[in-house]
Structures are given as C-alpha cells and as structure tokens.
Structure 1
Amino acid sequence: MTDDAALDRALAADGPLADLLDDYSPREEQQRMAQAVAAAIEAEDSLVVEAGTGTGKTLAYLIPALHSGKRVVISTGTRTLQDQLYHRDLPIARAALERPVRMALLKGRGNYLCLYRMERTAEEGRLETAAMADGLQKLRAWAGRTRSGDLAEAPAGSVDGRLQPRVTSTADNCLGQNCPLYSECFLMEARREAQEADVVVVNHHLLMADWALREGGYGEVLPSADVYILDEAHQLPETAARFFGATVSSRQLQDLVRDTRLEQQREAGDSPDLAEHAARVERAAAELRQALGESSRMAWADAGEAPHEAAGELAAALESLTGALAPQAPRGRGLENCHKRSDELQSSLRGFLANDTESREVAWVETRGQGFALRLTPLDVAEHFRRSRARHGQSWVLTSATLGVNGSFEHFQRRLGIDSAQTLQLDSPFDYARNTRLYLPASLPEPRDPRFDEAYLQAVEPVLEASEGRAFMLFTSHRALRNAADWLRARGWSALMVQGDAAPKQLLERFRATPGAILLGTQSFWEGVDVRGPALSCVMIDRLPFASPGDPVLQARAAWLKDQGRSSFADHQLPEAIIGLRQGVGRLIRDTADRGVLVLGDTRLISKPYGRLFRASLPPMPLVRDIEAVNDFFADQSSTSS
C-alpha cells in the first residue's frame, strides 16, 4: 500500500479512527494537511501550515509522522497540551496505525520532584507555614511510590507555590552526576526514556532551553531526531527571545543565598564568613528591589541612578561571594555548585550592566511584588533559530491555527528566519457565516477616550443579558479587567470567575460547572483554552491587542527596525496584534455544534485603514452593529448547523 493510500485509509470514514473515536468524521482539510506533512517528511523539507479550528491538525501531523517510521520530536505550547498529546492523541494515532511506537513525555526539570532537594529541605526544617510542612510530608510519602516523579501527578494540595522551588531543581542548582541520589533521579530517568523513544513530546520552553544550551556549548537535554513538529508555533518567536537572552532574577539570588547557607552549615562549619558574604548578596538584592520602585517593565537605561548604583553593589557582592566560595568548593558537591552558580550570576549581571544601546539586545527590568528580573533580550531571533534548525533534524513542520496575516505567512517566517518552506493555509470547516455574529456596538468612543471603559461595559451588558452570561470577557490590561469585575458586581452579576481569584484551571472548571457564568481574563485565557458547547456562547474583547507602546522590548525593536528602513507598526506591531486577536477569537467556536457572538469594542476595526487587515484575517463572521441583531441571533436556535 502506498503512503498516500495508507494515510487515506487511516483518515477514512470507515477507517481505524472511526472505530477509535465516537464522533469521528473525515475532513478534507485534515486529509490535505496529512498529505502535506507526509510529503515534507519524505522530501526532508520544511512546511508551515495554518490549520483553522476544527481541522483536526493534531492527528493530521501525528498519523504521517508515526507512519514515516522516523524519530520525531513534537513540541507544543504548554504542559497541558503536552499531557493531552501524550496521554490521549498519540495512543489514538498509534492504535490507528497498529504500530509499536515507543513514546516518551519530557518536561522541564521544574516539573519533577528532586529527591536531593526534598531531603535537604526536610533536613533544614525551616518552612514558613504548617501547610508547607504538611505538603512536604505528603511529597516524601509519594516519592516512595511514584514512578515518574511528575508533580502533575502529586497528591492534591501537596505542592504549595512556595514549596515547589524547595523540592525541584534548576539548571543552576542541579548537582548532575555529582548528586548522591543521581541513580534515583526522576528527571534523569525521564531523559533516558526520551533517548530511547521513537516519539518524544516536549514543550517550546524545553526545546528552546535545549537549543540555547547547545548554542552555548553546554551540552544538550533532548535527543536528536529526524523530524521536528512544532505545534502552537505562533508562540515560538517570543519563547526563543527569552531563552537566547540572559536573566538575573531575585529568585535565582534567593536560591543561591539559601543554598550557600545550608551547604556552609553542612560542609564548611568552620567558615562562617560564607554566610556573611551570602547575607551581603541578600541585602544588595533587597536594596535593588526597593530602588526599582513599583511593579513595572522598563528599559534599564531609564531606570534611574539609584537602581544602577544598587545593581553595581549587587555585582560587587556576587563577586565577593564567588571569591569566598572558590577555596571552599573542593570540600563538597553542594559548595562546588554554589560557587559555579555565583560565578555565572556575576558574569550574567556584568554582561547586563555592560550592554549598550548599539547592541542587538535590549536590557530591561521587570518587577512584580517583591521580586525582580534583569533581562537581556535579543531584538531578533531569526539567526538563532536558523542556526538551530540547521543543526537539528531533516524535516520541519510548524503549525498553528494562527500564523498568517491576511493569508500571508511572511511576518511569521521572517521572525524565525525561515527563508524557504512549503506553505499551506487551511480554513476552519466550521460554518461561521451561519453560526456566529461579529457585534461591533455602534457609537462607542475609541479606546484612548477616557469615556471608553464605562461606555464599553454599558454596551456589552445587554449582550450578557441576551446570552444569559455564558461568556468570556477578554481584556488587554489587568486594570480594565478589575474595573469590569467591580462594575459587573455592582450591577448584580454574581457568577463571575475573575482571573487572579483562583488558578486558571480552577476558574475554567468552575466556569464549565456554573450555569450562566462569566469569566474575566487577560492573556492567560486568550489562547489554549477549550470550552465546547453552550456553556460558552459569547466572547467579548475590549480592545485590539496592540502591545503597550511603553514596553521596553517593543521600543527597542521599533528603533532597530527603523534603522533598517522598516516600519515598526506595519512590520511588527500590526501583524502581532492581528495574530493575537485571532487567538482570542478562536475561543468562541470549538465544535461543529457551537454557536455564538463575538463582541469587539474597538471601533478602529472599521474606522482605521488597517482595520480591513484585521477583518480579512478573521473567520467569515457576519458583522452587525445593532443589539437587536444580537437578540435575534440568541433567540433563533434554528441557525445551529448540526
């Protein structure tokens, strides 16, 4: 049987998938994508494919990938999607092909229990709350019976947010082969299984971390592969920028200080000066956080004199600690690791402080709560990505529901340095023209108008009444979200799930279980959220998602693009906003029987020339301006296409 015939058979109406899935039906778009993926793998080529919601893109790449018999790495955007791929989708594809495929799931090290760190934490015996102490005991008991050590499988309530860094390792503090519990390490076992597998499922953060390690000459995390499939590929440019840059954070410094004190007590009790040097780093970090002021993101050049002086003192304190640790390092593996980390943090901080405006990297600072992060971010990752692709694999498939702008992949390909690739754009098979409406309320002021927030909420409340709740309200800022939550509560809306009140997963569970619920969220809920059926019948987006003009990375990238003779708005901000809007819109229709209304509060969609690019990039939703059309849509149940 030819490859094409085998794929057609697997995806046919009477094929094996029909036996495995109760609601399976063949889709032309899925079959076209599967054939394109198979051709790219066979030709050792690259393929960029946009597959609209409902295409069935996961099986469209899994079936040909497994059928090829080649070694495959699949990377996706989140740990949740990783788990879904590994536990649900891959077993279905394997069963459909009846192939003995060895599979492995590999996450970042922070997802695995570290036995050494857990025991050191228990030995230290200083936990801030009784809940943390109880969680630690639960984890110690669980450690004796878990095979994977994956904290996603840990007992409920055992992994307190403050406890997790005490029982997991980082690239900084891991002792590697020098660890006395190395032979029992859950992470190392997961990596061994990945090395032996035919298909390895990872996420973009781990993939980029691996590439950054290899580029720096520090080894590798992932096995080599013939085929790389990158799902949710629209996230890759920003994820790559994070990992090909450098960061010095208060969290790293706190961990170093705590570990230095612990190891000094365990291995160098006759050298109390180590604790004094660690305390100096701790004080310098606290003084830098105080000098940085309120929570914000800003260019380091704009931070002011006090933060610059405090950062200089922090660099000096790290240099002092590194010098003090150097003669103590041979006394124990823990002290050796602390010395290595202190030296690397000092080097990273010196590099950050030495950055100049002529560099193709931007130095900026982010503060949140009591923490801070000093970041050095590349303005363009195309060359990094191009080099990494050249070193890995033979075939590449990059896919997402949102890669294009008005039918073109030029922006996405340019950002990742993908100069030549086969491209394919597949529209969603859903009947948007029949099952949706795009409501742009008439007479709204533009978003920069001080009257906008109040006017927007007054305009959308009748929609909430017509839909009987059952809505996502998505915002481009936390301030707008909080204002809306207060306004709705004051108006008597009670079934509100507000981002920040609970973990996103818990909010989604409550939303699905609560009739007439309204979920208010920002970026966390714009993508990767799947609510099917009538529980979600309305998605409201207040503004077109342009990045904040005050963002330091955006400002630096704009200047860099201007130096190249390019337009920051046309070549970066506009296409990024269009892709972001498409992600938010994608929450509305998740199945053939779904129907609903998309509400956009931004009149620039029709008042500005660039609005036509937004509209041309959205699904074919009939535009209405009158609330009566919305009322009629919700009153008319006959428009459901199923």
Structure 2
Amino acid sequence: MAREALALAAFDHVVSHAAGFRARSGQREMAALIAHTLSGVSLGDGAVSSEAGLPERGIAVVQAGTGVGKSAAYASTVIPLALAQSKRVIISTATVALQEQLIAKDLPALAAALPQPFAFALAKGRGRYVCRLKLDQLSGGDAASADLFESDDTPSASDTSPDALAAHTVASAAATARSAERWQARGQQYVQWAHALDSGRWDGDRDRLDEPPEAELWSPVAAERHTCTARHCPSYNSCSYYQARARLAQAQVIVVNHDLLLSTLGLHALPNPEECYLVFDEAHHLGAVAQGQFTASMDLMRTQWLDRLPRAVEEVAGALQYTPGADVPALARELKAAQSELARMAMQRMGENPEWLALTGRTGATSLLTGTVRSGATPAIRSESPSPVRPEPFDKLRTGSVEGPAGSSRAGLRQAQPERMGAPSERVSAQTERWGAAGAPVVDRFEGGALPTGWVETVSRLHANASALLKILEAMATQLKANARENPGDAARCAKLYSRLGVLAPRLQSAQETAALWLQEPPAVSEAGQPRQAPLAKWLEAGVQHGLVTLTAHACPLQPGSLLRHHLWNKVRGAVVTSASLVTCGTFDHFLHESGLAYDDAVVAREVQSPFDHARQGRLVVVQTDADPKNVEAYTREMLATLMADLRQVARGALVLFTSKAQMRRAQELLERGEHAELREVVLVQGEASRTQLLRRHGERVAEGGVSILFGLQSFGEGLDLPGELCEWVFITKLPFASPSDPVGQARADWLKSQGRDPFSELVVPATGARLLQWTGRALRTETDEAVVVCYDARLLRQNYGRRMLKGLPPYRLQRRVGEVLTDVSA
C-alpha cells in the first residue's frame, strides 16, 4: 500500500540522513510492522474503510528490548504517516526521563532529517503550572486565602480523658507553631516567585524552578481546574498554563505522560484519539496507571476544612446575593459528624488489627480520633441512591461511564495528579520504600468488598451530605462564571471568589466518590456460588506521622483491562504500543489482559530482535543458598553474608536491588561493622540523597577509576541507565514478588479463587517475571557492555514458576553457583 511504502521510505531516509544513526535489524523489523499495521487505519469522524462499515483499526504491540532503538523506529514511521494525512501524533510515556530524551534529543534529530518539517511540544498537566491569581493573593499576604488553602495539621479529639486531652493539646500547639512557621517561609517564597514571574525570569512552569518545590509549598499556588475560571480570569492572557496550551495547539507531535493522557480523554485538552495516531512507550505501566486513575480515596482524620467551608460559602453567597437553598452549616456539620463517626468505627476495627497494634506500640503514637456523631443526631439529608453526583463545572474530573457492580454508573478517568503514583500496589511499594517495613502504614481490607454491619448508614449520610454541598458549590460557581462573562469589569472579584469555592471541591469530591464506591454492593452470586462479576477493592490505611494517626479510606475496581478497553481502546483507531517489558514468562498474555487488548482483533503483537549478544555479553548466576527464601530471617542472614563477599569482586560500578527497606537496612548495618568498613566507603544508599545526586556521585567515582556500589529498591530497578563501567554487576537479593500488603492484589486473588482459578499463576508469577525482566535489564545498556547478574534466590531454577520467569528473560549465559563452584545450566 502507498502509506506503508511512504512510512518505510521515511524510515530509510532517516537511517541514511540522521547524524550518528545506525540501522539495526530489530529496528527495521519494528518499523516495517508499524508501517504495515497502520497503513490501512482510517482516522477522523465518519471515516469508514472496512467491509462491515466500521473504521479500520490497527494496533501494533511491539516488545523491543534495550538497544533496539524503538523511539526512532516508531517516530520515523508514524510521524510521516500523520503529516501526509494532516493528522497529529501523541507520544505517551511513563517517565520524565524518556519525555526529556524525546524532546531534547530524538525529535529534534528526526525533524532535522525528515524533508517535511514538523513542530513538537511537551504537554504537562495543569498542576505543573502556577496560578497567577493564587500567587498574587498569597504573595500579597491574603490571610483569607491562606486560611482556606492551609491543610489540617491535627485532627480534633473525641477522647476526653485527661491523658488524651493533654496529648491533643500538646499536638495541637506543636501543629499551630509548625503552621505559622511554614506560612511565614512560604510567604517569602511566593513573593520571590511572583517577582520572577513578573520580570520574565520564570515562565510559571514548576519544572523550570531552580529547586523543585515540596508538594506542600507548591499545592496552594498550583493551577487546577476547580479554581480556574479560564477566559473569565483577569490573568487569563498571562496565564502560564493557557500559554502552554496555545503552543500545544500548534504542534503536530505532542509528548505526554500516561496519567495525563488517560485523565484528559473526553476533555478536549489533547487531540481526539479517533483523529490522531497514538504511541504508548513504556506501555507496561498502562494497567497500573489506569487502576490508579480509578482509585478513590478519602482522608478520614482531617476535618477542620469543614469548619471553614460554611464561612467560605457565606462569603461568596453574600457577594453574589445568592441564597443556597439549603442549610450549609448544617450540611457541613452532618458531613463532619458522619466522617468522624466513620473514623471512630475504622479505628475500632484497627484496634483489632495486630499489625496496627504493633505499629502504634513501636512508634508510641497517640491515637487521636476525630469527633463522633452525637447520640440521636439527625442527618441533614439522606440519600436513596449512592450514584455519584456530577455537578459542573467543578466535577469534570471524570468523563464517560462504565458499568460497575449492581449496574451503578462509574464515571471515567480522573484528572491527572502530578504527585500520584500509579496503581495502589505501586503506592504500597513506594510507601514501603519511604517508611520502611517497621513504619509503613497498615492496610485493612474488606474481604469481598463487603462493609461491616452498621457502616452503610454512616457512609450513606456522608455521601448524601457531600453530594448536597457539591451541588451548592456548583450552582454558585455557575453564577460566578455568568457574572464574569456578563460584567468583565467584575471578573477579578469573581475569579477570586471562585477560587475560594474551588479549593474545597476536591475534598468534597473525594468524600463523595469514595463513599459512592464503598456503597456499591458486592456482586450477585451465580447458582454455582461464584460472583457474577469482580467486586471492588475497599480498604482502610492507617499510619503514624509526627506522632499523630493518619487514616484514609480507599476503593477501586479490580480489572484495569476493562477500564482501558472502555475508556481508551474503543476510541483509538491507530496506535503503537511498545516497551522492553511486554513479554513476561515468554508470552504477551499477561500484558494484553492487563492493558485491555487481549481480545482486540486490531492487535498485532510481535517481539523484535535485540542487537545484543546476551550469551556473550552477560551472565545470569543463580546462587544456591542453604536457607529457603520463605524462612526470611535465616535466608536474609545467609544471603547478606554471601552478598558482602561478592561485593569485594566489584572493580568499578555495581547495583544491588533489594526487595524491602528492612532488607536493605540490614545490609547497611552489616557495612557498619569492622570487617566490612572498607565496603561502606564505596556504597551509596537510596534515600541518603536525591536520586540525581546519588547517580552523579556514582558516575564521578567510576570516572575517577574508583569503585561505586548503589543500594536501591524497586524504583532503582527500572529506568536507571548505567552503561559500561557504571554497572558491571547487578545483584538481586530475592525474587521481586509484589508486597503482600497490596489490598488490590489481595482482592484480585480472592476474586480469581472464587472463579476456581489460580491467582499465583495468573497474576503473581507474570507480574514478578515482568519486574525481574526490568531488574536484569539494568545490566546491558549498549552493544559493548559486559555484565554479570547475580540472583540469590534459587527458586528461579528450582521451582516451575521460576523456570517460567526465565523464559521471559534475555538469553544470558545461565549458571548455578553452589559455594564457589559455577555450573552452566540450560534455560
């Protein structure tokens, strides 16, 4: 076909004209597959080319390992195809590193090599830009705004015993002092930012600040949908976000992250998927990102914002001469009472959890609960239906609908959250890295998605009052926008009032959405005793910070594939889906199911040839230990002793990947002892400094001819690019199974068991195999690298599931080590 020939000709042109470009057989294979798959795709409304009268679709799923050059393969074929049809391309990635590589290196080189010019731009979420109106308010010392934007530092106490009240008084005083100090420091920083923005030294992009700001500093001035009046804002013409949007509108190629792409479906912030080509790089993250988008969470311990809400509504209503039509203070009181009652019940449940008792015993935390519902209190309103209310314009975070359990309507994907991290399981992993096993939050899951007896009435009241308040805010927001439109001279005042309402909307929405999901009934059971559809995962998470209890409620659907199929793939006509980690245990099956592509006739999946000679360049050594990895204490002791001996072989750079912070801490403790003191001098531990600083220090040591060894957790197992001497050894302390405290994984396992299926085989083994592929992938980064991967978990060879994982790894030379004896093993 003409389009296929055009795309391949463009690829060949880039190969011959791009400086420093070298053709690779796997790359050519990938380009040919993309050209063929997308050549018949019909883009745009009304485009029909199939015999069935439906638009022609094509989705190329490509496993392309390190060294293939996948970004050049897809960019040099897809972009010329789009330009020839006057269409656009969206390239979506999971990491900032790849976005920067595309924008700073790959796309400029391609633009220079192709005969037809094109413009490209990086799309960021609204929250990456400053809101000039908020910044002006806070840098000018607007006390009302500061009070509204400030978060609660401590919950209110319901336990009136002398000890509890004394502890609460101390905690409150400390929190008040911290708050005052923070706002003084923040105010100075906001003034500096305002001056930089006014002088043109800063463009309002968070990522262009000299030092990345902490979330609590940035959040009060971040642009966000809820507090934005768009064209009605007096700062619209100088708005950093809308200036970036204008530049985006001129680009033929847009680079974006998965979170932002999924969150903006249906919002017209990006080109319609039906009218453009899409490329998903690092696509193995899609399932986790989709699940994270659909997770609803509610903070149960912070309620002071509800005390401020009536005052804010009264101020805005008075300025508008508007009567809400409901008793706002009563609604806020009843919402607070319901939330406090739910917190009380949740803490009673936690009081029966051995992990929680162990955590609070270790930390000496004061379990301060929020206020409880008074006996005989009457809720302001009651809800007959838990379906989420979707007021406009605040509640535009979700689009479309997907049928959840009991036929309830579940809104679509949520607005991107810059600080959010993927699926619940990924957040559990991140918390373990940050807190460590000894202090990680405790998760308490409701099995089968069923709430305890007596909870539904409280959650229903919470949902009803949050929904009622959201409706009031929506009505007032609509009136404010109308006033600004009809009276431009009043736009500044309206925008300020709008922001006072908008800052409250996300908290109300979180409460409403989480409660709505919690109220969804577990699915009906068939005659065979099996649930007819997957339930929701519902759980509590409790932790301790600064000596105070944190408590959040969570809920999310279990099957990311169905979410992606409904919200994304049904709209996509032509796409490339690629990564180095799509094949796990030797097949695409796990990825295709998790990403919603398993039963899509438009999908063509293929693994292309790697340029690496893995058997020559790398070895995978599996160490036989006497202790079984299931015996954690004995195995950790033996493994660490062996690891310390092995680290003495390192001549330049090495990476040690641990499966828990507790395990890594034990290794650090060994390094502090006399016999390992010389090793401590060359080890850099994740968390001792920022990732950027650690990698810079690591590179400097190796460049100077010294030894440098990185200790890291899961986040160091993916995305680190350490070529040559920077990483000649990768040590894997244990097979990287997911955290056993992951509530979604537990709920999915229960669901599969109820269907007579094996969750370990279907979920755990493939997911671990994919993670192991990423971890071993840190070893070889170029065709001249040579490296050794050492795994201390003999289950990789000894167990059938370990052999399955091996099938998904590159064909390294495989060896078993018993003591000091190495023996070659056939894979």
TM-score of the two chains, using structure 2 as the length reference: 0.67
Structure 1 counterpart of 2:24, one-letter code: R
For the pair 1:9 / 2:12, whether they are aligned, the reply is yes
Do structure 1's residue 297 and structure 2's residue 443 form an aligned pair? yes
* Alignment of 1:49 onto 2:59: no
Which aligned pairs between 1:59-70 and structure 2 lie closer than 5 A?
Answer: 59-68=72-81, 69=83, 70=87
Q: Give the letter aligned to residue 502 of structure 1.
A: A
1:443 to 603, 606, 625: 625
- 1:150 aligns with 205
Instruction: Give, in whole Å, the separation in 1 of the partners of 2:459 and 2:701.
Output: 49
Q: 1:429 aligns with which of 608, 611, 632?
A: 611
Between the aligned partners of 1:415 and 1:169, the Cα distance in structure 2 is 33
Letter in 1 for 2:248: A
Could you say if the C-alpha distance between residues 16 and 374 of structure 1 is closer, same or farther in structure 2, counting changes exceeding 3 Å? farther
Structure 2 counterpart of 1:152, one-letter code = D
Return closer, same or farther for 1:252/1:530 CA change in 2, 3 Å cut-off: farther
Indicate whether 1:344 and 2:509 are aligned.
yes
Q: 1:542/1:310 Cα in 2 relative to 1: closer, same or farther (>3 Å)? A: farther
**2:501 is the counterpart of 1:504:** no
Task: Output the CA distance in 1 between the equivalents of 2:303 and 2:118.
Answer: 43
What's the offset of the Cα at 1:624? 3.0
1:52 deviation in Å? Answer: 0.8
Q: How far apart are 1:147 and its partner, in Å?
A: 7.0
Q: 2:242 is matched with which residue?
A: 188
Is residue 407–residue 425 contact of structure 1 (8 Å, CA) maintained in 2? no
Matches within 5 A, 1:484-563: 484-490=667-673, 491-492=676-677, 493-515=680-702, 516-563=707-754
How far, CA to CA, are the matches of 1:498 and 1:256 in structure 2? Answer: 42
Match of 1:231 among 281, 290, 313: 281
- The separation in 2 between residues aligned to 1:360 and 1:300, in whole angstroms, is 11
Number of the residue aligned with 2:494: none
Q: Could you tell which deviates more after superposition, 364-373 or 53-62?
A: 364-373
| 2:384 is equivalent to residue 197 of structure 1 | no
Residue 415 of structure 1: how far off its partner (Å): 2.0
Q: Is 1:459 matched up with 2:642?
A: yes
Q: Look up the match of 1:378.
A: 557
Aligned-pair CA distance for 1:373: 4.2
**Residue 119 of structure 1, CA deviation:** 2.4
| Cα distance in 2 for residues equivalent to 1:101 and 1:327 | 44
**Higher mean C-alpha deviation, range 290-299 or range 233-242:** 290-299
| Contact 1:136–1:158 under 8 Å retained in 2 | no
Distance 1:180 1:590, change over 3 A: same
Q: What is the identity, as a one-letter code, of the residue corresponding to 1:596?
A: A
Distance 2:642 2:748 in 1: 36
- 2:451 touches 2:518 (CA, 8 Å); kept in 1? no
Decide which moves more: 198-207 or 133-142. Answer: 133-142
Q: How does 1:109-128 map to 2 (within 5 A)?
A: 109-122=126-139, 123-124=141-142, 128=181
Worse-superposed segment, 386-395 or 541-550: 386-395
Residue of structure 2 in register with 1:414 after alignment: 593
What residue number does 1:637 align with?
none
CA distance in 2 between counterparts of 1:56 and 1:259 reads: 54
**Residue 412 of structure 2 aligns with which residue?**
none
**Structure 1's 345 and 455: CA in aligned 2 closer, same or farther, altered over 3 A?**
same
**Please, which moves more after superposition, 351-360 or 564-573?**
351-360
Deviations 1:303-351 (A, max 9, x none): 9899999978966885796698689766732344356445533421321
Sort the Cα spacing of 1:304 and 1:180 in 2 relative to 1 into closer, same or farther, 3 A: farther
- Larger CA deviation: 553-562 vs 359-368: 359-368
Farther-moved stretch of structure 1 (200-209 vs 358-367): 358-367
Three-state SS of the structure 2 residue aligned to 1:610 is helix
Shift of 1:501: 2.6
Task: Identify the match of residue 537 of structure 2 among 362, 366, 369.
Answer: 362
Mapped partners of 2:475, 2:583: distance in 1: 56
Report the residue type matching 2:778 in the other structure: R
Aligned partners of 2:138 and 2:187 also within 8 Å: no
Moved more, 260-269 or 494-503: 260-269
Residues 103 and 197, structure 1, Cα contact 8 Å, conserved in 2: yes
Q: C-alpha separation between the residues in 2 aligned to 1:80 and 1:265?
A: 45
The one-letter code matched in structure 1 to 2:69 is G
CA positional deviation for 1:427? 3.6
Partner of 2:779: 588
> Residue 192 of structure 2: which of 131, 135, 138 is its match?
138
User: 1:87 is matched with which residue?
Assistant: 104
Identity %: 29
1:280 Cα deviation after fit: 8.2
Structure 1 window deviating more from structure 2 (618-627 vs 57-66): it is 618-627
The DSSP-based 3-state class of the residue aligned with 1:162 is: helix
- Corresponding residue for residue 638 of structure 1: none
Q: Highest Rg: 1 or 2? A: 2
Residue 379 of structure 1 aligns to a residue whose secondary structure is coil
Comparing 567-576 with 431-440, greater Cα deviation is found at 431-440
Structure 2 counterpart of 1:379, one-letter code: L
User: Post-superposition shift, 1:73?
Assistant: 0.7
Equivalences, count:
620
Tell me which residue corresponds to 1:222: 270
Q: How does 1:6-45 map to 2 (within 5 A)?
A: 6-12=9-15, 15-17=16-18, 20-21=19-20, 24-44=21-41, 45=58
Distance in 2 separating the partners of 1:312 and 1:112? 37
- Is contact 1:499-1:522 (8 Å) kept? yes
Shift of 1:357: 3.4
Q: Distance in 2 between matches of 1:257 and 1:168?
A: 23
> Deviation digits for residues 267-316 of structure 1, max 9, x if unmatched?
86999996995998599579949936551233146998999999789668
User: 1:179 offset after TM fit, Å?
Assistant: 3.7
Structure 1 Cα separation of the partners of residues 538 and 474 of structure 2: 29
* Distance in structure 2 (CA, Å) of the matches to 1:223 and 1:614: 39
Segment drifting more, 55-64 vs 585-594? 585-594
- State how far apart, in whole Å, the 2-side matches of 1:119 and 1:275 are: 33
* Residue segments in structure 1 that go unaligned for 5+ positions in a row: 633-642
Counterparts in 2 of 1:427 and 1:479: CA distance versus 1, 3 Å: farther
The SS at the match of 1:143 is helix
* Contact 2:459–2:515 (Cα < 8 Å) also in 1: no
- Deviation track 1:331-381 (CA, whole Å, cap 9, x = no partner) reads 732344356445533421321331343363211234455455432211112
CA-CA distance at 1:387 after TM superposition: 2.5
Q: Which amino acid aligns with 1:204?
A: H
Match of 1:614 in 2: 805
- The TM-score, its normalising length taken from structure 1, stands at 0.85
Cα distance in 2, alignment partners of residues 481 and 599 from structure 1: 16
Whole-Å Cα distance in 2 between the matches of residues 333 and 544 of structure 1?
Answer: 52
Paired residue for 2:297, among 244, 247, 252? 247
1:209 and 2:209 matched: no
RMSD: 3.8
- Quote the Cα distance in structure 2 between the aligned partners of 1:535 and 1:258: 54
What is aligned with 1:636? none
State the Cα deviation string for residues 174-199 of structure 1 (Å, max 9, x = none): 44445442332222232333333211
Report if the CA contact (8 A) 1:537-1:596 is conserved. Answer: yes
Q: Do the aligned partners of residues 630 and 538 (structure 1) sit closer, same or farther apart at CA in structure 2, a change above 3 Å counting? A: farther
Q: Does the 8 Å contact 1:48/1:399 carry over to 2?
A: yes
Partner of 1:107: 124
Helix, strand or coil: the match of 2:540? strand
CA-to-partner distance for each residue in 1:152-183, whole Å, 9 max, x for gaps? 111x2362332011221344444444544233
